[in-house]
Structures are given as structure tokens and as C-alpha cells.
Chain A
């Protein structure tokens, strides 16, 4: 078992005719992902081909779903068109939408998120995220495929490269990872920490969880409360980035800003520690801390 995706999950790529879309479609195919086609309005009926790879392009997600049985979608559509692409996938019956696109206006995401509440069984991951990888099985997004070994640690994070750090470390420690989810750095996004933590809780293969947060918002605090109530049997190791970030400055991610004294790293670490989470001071300690926790 694993969460969200397996090697059987059929995946469609929205924006497949763009440079990033096609590059990552091929990377995912090489990884073993069941990418069954792509969508670019106006280019239906054509094929994307290179080397051993050949994928059909459809005009709409609806058509792609009808003809290929796609269940999940990865979106590489540019920001002005990405909100429409997300909703198109939702209305076409896709129930896992991974949005890689960076730079979607916040007001657009507010409306999209409200509209998605019509689909209670749908999970949007992102936007502005590295995607979801079930190690050794399926890769939806832009995570590097070669850094992790399959194993027993679930990884979830708001950041991209810090996620890779964590996967690399648990792999070097011989623990390996199950599924690795980047929920994204935008202030309005789909899946939150609890959405992913609750799935890791149910996953028999996942024995420990690495959760990487950062300054801004209150999701880490909410996750801490959830963990203290619901997650007793699996150790959680956490790192929060941005302890030294000055107030009022936006640190790269649109969501990473301390405003009004809220969303500080110190506050988040305190909440997590109270919930029994092992909070490490530097990301270099993630792997070792998890090894120790799982050996205990």
C-alpha cells in the first residue's frame, strides 16, 4: 500500500505540449508511471513523441477520461489558464489533481477552492508544489526520481528541495520512503497537512512520518492538534524553516511571511513539540532522528 497513487494509477498531463509538461511526462514514464495521455485545447488528435515515448493529446480532460480511463491529473498549464484547467479536471471526474503551476493569482484560487467544495471526494495537491511520488511506483509532478529508495517513511512538506533532502536522508539511513507529498508554498492551496497525515495514518506500510513546515499561516499548528489526538502509534519528525526570517518579509513562497506576529517558526515548533512530535533544529538531523524514533 501507499497513499494517493500506485503504479496502476492512470495519469493525464494537462499542458503536455509545453516544455515542462512534456519533459516531466517523459520523466514520469521512465519512472514507471502510467501516463496515458495529455490535454492541450486545440491540439487534440495529435501525438507527443520522442524516443520510446508516444502519448495521445486530447482537446479536453473529459475526452481524455472517456478514452483512457485517467483517474489523476498533473497540471503544467501557465497561471492565467491554470484555474480553468483545475476546474475542468474536477468536472471531468478526476479525483486527484496535482497542480505544479507557480504564480496563480490568489483571488483566482479563492474562487477555485470554493467551487471544488462541490466535490468532497476530490483532492487538489498544490498549486506551486513539486507533486506526489510513491517511491518506486508512480511520480506525479516534478520531483527527482532518483534520490529515494522505497521503504517505510512518509514525507510531506510545503517546500520542494527540503522534501528531497528528507527523502534522501531517510534513504541513506536505510529506512526508505513510502509516498512523498509536496503540498505547495502558496497561501491558498488544496491538500493541507492533515489531509495527508490522515492518509499516512491509515497506510500500513508507512511506519513513521516526516513533516516539513515553514513560517506563515497556521497549518502546522492545526496539524499539531490533529496529531496529538489521532496519531499516537507512528512517530512524526518535523523541521520548520524560517526561524530567522524577519517579520513582514516574504521569503520566496507567497505563503512564507510572518504577519502580525502570527505564523512564527517558534510558535509552530512549540505546538508540535507539545503534540509529541520530534522537532529537529536543522534539516540535517531529519534522517537520524527518524532512525532513532523507529528503533525505539
Chain B
């Protein structure tokens, strides 16, 4: 789960991670009062959306007066911000964060994330702050430093000193740097984060470390024990179809193509998308109805797929294991009838009772196209979609 910068900073403050003073604005009328409350000579006006790269899209501006702040905030609030991470459709800005500017002596990059290979958390750091770290990783991998955080012992002082030296920090700042690191680790572990990224982390002219930007994401599996974090979810930033699927225990992600997919199992669902592409079309979505798909799940999945107006044809790909194909076939028939399905439907059933399932579909009176292999199913659905679009 993702949260906004202002929310991440409020959380980090609780773990003694220094962040600048800031105020959240949802209506332009709040600006004069909040600006006065901040009382800073330089203020950053920052769009609050979940995607990164806000500065590049014009979502972050530095101002020095109330008038300037008003001009910029009016521009940003309500704008459709397009950044490299939002996709071309962009994201509407509904909140703006006003933050006291810092006198920057040095900008760095610091993040905590999971290193899957070693099954532990690591610090990733660079003296090149404010840059896209992924870009830097490609062009100058030698400028990125990594340090493991032992799950049982933690991060040691000597490691912090070594990392600080690599970042070019003077010894007199190493103690404060270590405390900053420890605060981040504590926040990460106690809040079940899956990423904390401080970019840039700045050293001010008065030798203080401040998180100038903060990005936090959280482990969805741990939200059951993180009520405070779960409450920060911003529904304006979520795809309503993804949310609806999640309520049924299904995993749905909308994509740009025209073939709606319904598959059981995440791996098979990804494979189905791949095969559709090989057959010459694009999937409209990823949809995993769960390894043991039930009739209710199939019905809910149909409804979700049909809410996407881009969909021109639907492919159902189910490998029946313990859940038998004849039961799934009945689910498909009932769901197709209940939703008044008009689009071409290709169904591929394989595994337990596959033959019985196909017979049920053939006898249903529905115009269902059946297939035996994934390849055949993909070819048939792509053909059907082309006819439908023509």
C-alpha cells in the first residue's frame, strides 16, 4: 500500500526522524492562514499524489511570498499531474503540502528496502541526492552503496560510520547520521513498511539531517496489524476495480489492451497475458480469481471485467484442480446469463473434469467459443476481438 509524502513525514516524525515543518492544504482558502503558520522565508509547494517524479511534471514549486505561494498552489491544486510514474493519463491533485524550505549544504539519497537475494533489509545510499536512483544505477552503479541490516542484530555504529564516509560526510556528523538511520529502521520494522525512500536526504548548513522528501510503501500482508497505517489509504489514488476485486479476494490490475482475462492462479494469469500478446493483441487486465476458483468468484470477476469499456472480448483460462471444471463451467454459464454478456467469450478449461465442463458450455445455449490449449484459446480470442472491433 502506498501513502502520501505528508503522511509518511508524519509517521517518520513519531520515530524521531527529522523532517521539515509542513502544512496540508485541500482548499485554496486555507492558504493564507497555513502560510502564516509556517512562517518560513522559503516554502516548497508540493502536489500530493502517490506517483513519484512530481517535480518533473511541475508539481513542486519553491516560493518566497504568500502571493507567489497562492499563484503556484492555485495552479497545482486540481491540476492533472503527469509524471513518468503516473502514465500518460496523469493523476488529479487533490492535496497540496506546504513545507518550510531548508538551507541545503548537501543532498543525498537514502532508502531501506528488501534484498530478496540475501533475505534481509538493506540500506541503499548515494551521495547523488535528488536523482532518479534507477537512472543512477544504470549510468553510475559505483556511486550507489549498500549495507545490510541484520534482522536479529540490526545496523551497527561502525557500519553507519563507514556508510557516512562513503557519502562524503564529515566525522562530526556521523553520530547524527547514525541516529537518522536507526530512526528509519525502527519506522520500517514497527510499521511493516516495504520501502522507505528519502530522496533527497539533506544536510543543512547548520549540520542537521532532514528528510526533504519521503516515500513509504507498506507490506499489504501486514496491514491486519497496522491499523494506523491502513487508515491512511487514499481511495482517490486507488483503482476502484482493483479495490472491488480485492474485496472478493481476487487480484486485478487494469492494463491498456482489449482482451479481458479471467484466470486461476497468478503465474497462469501472467502466462495468459503473455500468450495473448504473442497472438497479436494486448490484455485489458491481469485477473487472478484464486487457485481454487469458486462460482461466486467467477461471477464477480465477470462483472469487474465488464466494467472496463475497453474490453472487446473475454478469455477465461481455468486449470481445474481440486475445483472441478464442470463446476467452473456452471459458474461461467450463470455469470454470463446474469450479466447479460454480449461480448465474445472464449473459454479454455483444462484439468479435472475438463471434458464434462466443455460439454456443459456447449449445451448452455450461450455463444461460447471453447479451446483446449492456451495457445488455441489466445488465437481464438484475438480473432474474436478483431471482429468485434471491426
Contacts and interface: CB of A to CB of B under 8 A. Distances in A.
A79 interface: yes
- Chain A: interface residue count, which band? 35 or more
A265 to B, nearest CB: 8
A253 B116 CA distance: 14
B375 A282 contact: yes
B59 interface: no
A66 interface: no
A99 to B, nearest CB: 13
Contacts of A168: 319, 350-351
A260 interface: yes
A244 B277 contact: yes
Contacts of A115: 152
A110 interface: yes
A200 B120 CA distance: 28
A156 B284 CA distance: 29
A149 interface: no
Given A107-B189, A114-B152, A185-B267, A282 B278 contact: yes
Contacts of A142: 291, 322
Given A80-B224, A168-B350, A160 B375 contact: no
Q: Of A142, A161, A163, A241, which is in contact with the most chain B CB atoms at under 10 Å from its CB?
A: A161
A132 to B, nearest CB: 15
Contacts of B265: 159-162, 252
Contacts of B151: 110-111, 114
A86 interface: no
A245 B321 contact: no
A171 to B, nearest CB: 11
Interface residues of B, number: 58
B273 A245 contact: yes
A282 B267 contact: no
A194 interface: no
Interface stretch (A5-13, A46-54, A69-77, A213-221): A213-221
A130 B221 contact: no
Contacts of B283: 244
Interface of B: 85, 114, 116-117, 119-121, 133-134, 137-138, 150-152, 189, 192, 194, 219-222, 224-225, 251, 253, 255, 263-271, 273-278, 282-283, 286, 288, 291, 319-322, 350-352, 373-376, 378
Interface of A: 27, 79-80, 103-111, 113-115, 130, 142-144, 146-147, 157-165, 168, 185, 187-188, 212, 214-218, 222, 239, 241-246, 248-256, 260-261, 265, 281-285
19 contacts: A110-B120, A114-B152, A142-B291, A143-B321, A144-B351, A159-B268, A161-B264, A165-B268, A165-B319, A168-B319, A218-B116, A244-B282, A245-B270, A248-B85, A249-B253, A253-B266, A256-B266, A281-B274, A282-B375
